Structure 1
Amino acid sequence: MTEIFTNKASLKRGRKIERVRKLRGFTQSDLAEKLGVSKQAVSKLEQSENIGDEKLNEVAIALGVTFEGLRDFTEDKVLYNTNNFYDNCGVTASNIVANVETLNNPLKETIEMFERQLQAARKDLLEIVKNNISRNE
Structure 2
Amino acid sequence: MSEIITNKLSLHKGRKIERVRKLRGWTQSDLAERMKISKQAVSKLEQSENIGDEKFREVAEALGVTYEGLRDFTEEKVLYNTNNFYENSGVSASNIAANVENIHNPLKETIEMFERQLAAARKDLLEIVRQNISTKD
* Alignment TM-score, normalising by the size of structure 1: 0.58
Give the aligned CA root-mean-square deviation in angstroms: 2.6
Query: Structure 2 counterpart of 1:10, which letter?
Result: K
Matches of 1:78 and 1:41 in 2, distance apart?
A: 26
Q: Does 1:49 align with 2:49?
A: yes
Q: What are structure 2's unaligned runs of at least 5 residues? A: 90-135
Residues 36-90 of structure 1 deviation map (CA, whole Å, 9 limit, x = unaligned): 110000000000010011111111111111111100000000000100115589x
2:5 to 4, 7, 11: 7
Matches of 2:39 and 2:3 in 1, distance apart?
A: 28
Matches of 1:42 and 1:60 in 2, distance apart?
A: 13
- What's the secondary structure of 2:26's corresponding residue? coil
Matches of 1:88 and 1:65 in 2, distance apart?
A: 25
Which has the greater radius of gyration?
1
Aligned residues: 91
Matches of 2:7 and 2:39 in 1, distance apart?
A: 26
Tell me which residue corresponds to 1:59: 59
Matches of 1:64 and 1:54 in 2, distance apart?
A: 15
User: 1:82–1:55: structure 2 CA closer, same or farther, 3 Å change rule?
Assistant: same
Matches of 1:54 and 1:88 in 2, distance apart?
A: 39
* Alignment TM-score, normalising by the size of structure 2: 0.58
The Cα of 1:6 is off from its aligned counterpart by 4.4
Q: Does 1:75 align with 2:86?
A: no
Matches within 5 A, 1:94-105: none
Matches of 1:53 and 1:88 in 2, distance apart?
A: 38
User: 1:77–1:31: structure 2 CA closer, same or farther, 3 Å change rule?
Assistant: same
Tell me which residue corresponds to 1:20: 20
Moved over 4 A (4+): 86-89
Query: Structure 2 counterpart of 1:13, which letter?
Result: K
Matches of 1:61 and 1:28 in 2, distance apart?
A: 15
Query: Structure 1 counterpart of 2:27, which letter?
Result: T
- What's the secondary structure of 1:26's corresponding residue? coil
